[in-house]
C-alpha cells in the first residue's frame, strides 16, 4: 500500500475518534441546535415545573434549560413551585431518560416519597434567562 493510501485508509478512524470526543462540562451531546441530552447536576441552581410537560433548570453562570418531556407526566401538570422535584440519577449528570418525581412535601410526610409516580426527562433545550 502506498503511503498516500495508508493515510487515507486511517482517515475514517480518525474522524470517528473526533466525533466521539466528550462534550464540554455541563453538556453531554447536542440533541439539536441549542439543546443537549444532559446537564451537570452540580451546576443546577434551581429546578421547577414549567407548564404541563416541561421543567426549567437554572444553572450556575446564568444558563437556563427547559426540559420538554417526551411523554405526559400527570403530576407535572398539577405541580406548583412549592413541590419538590427529585431526580433519580446514575451519575453526575441529569440526562434524557433519567427519572424524576414531583413530590408535595406535606403529602410526602403522610405517605412517603415512594407513593409519588416517576416520570422521565426529555431533551434539554437552552432558553434565554428572561423566558
Please say if the pLDDT value at position 100 is more than 50.
Answer: yes
Tell me 20's DSSP state.
T
Name the residue range of residue 30's domain: 24-127
- Which residue, chain included where needed, has cell 413551585? 81
Model pTM above 0.95? no
In a domain, 80, yes or no: yes
Task: Residue 98: count other Cβ atoms within 10 Å of its Cβ.
Answer: 19
Rounded to whole angstroms, the Cα distance separating 49 from 26 reads 21
Structure confidence at residue 110 as a pLDDT band (50, 70, 90):
confident
What is the tens place of the pLDDT at every residue in 33-88? 568 999 999 999 999 988 889 999 999 999 999 999 988 888 888 888 778 888 89
The percentage of residues in the chain with a pLDDT greater than 70, rounded to a whole number, is 73
Please say if the pLDDT value at position 21 is more than 60.
Answer: no
In a domain, 2, yes or no: no
In a domain, 3, yes or no: no
In a domain, 8, yes or no: no
In a domain, 56, yes or no: yes
- Is 87:94 a contact under the CB 8 Å cutoff? yes
Number of domains in the chain: 1
Amino acid at each position: 500500500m502506498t503511503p498516500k493510501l495508508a493515510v487515507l485508509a486511517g482517515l475514517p478512524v480518525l474522524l470517528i475518534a473526533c466525533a466521539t470526543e466528550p462534550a464540554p462540562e455541563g453538556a453531554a451531546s447536542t440533541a439539536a441546535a441549542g439543546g443537549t441530552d444532559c446537564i451537570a447536576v452540580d451546576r443546577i441552581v434551581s429546578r421547577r415545573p414549567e407548564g404541563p410537560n416541561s421543567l426549567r433548570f437554572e444553572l450556575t453562570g446564568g444558563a437556563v434549560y427547559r426540559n420538554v418531556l417526551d411523554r405526559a407526566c400527570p403530576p407535572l401538570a398539577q405541580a406548583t413551585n412549592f413541590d419538590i422535584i427529585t431526580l433519580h440519577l446514575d451519575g453526575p449528570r441529569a440526562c434524557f431518560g433519567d427519572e424524576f418525581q414531583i413530590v408535595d412535601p406535606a403529602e410526602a410526610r403522610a405517605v412517603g416519597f415512594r407513593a409519588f409516580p416517576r416520570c422521565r426527562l426529555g431533551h434539554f433545550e437552552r432558553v434565554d434567562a428572561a423566558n
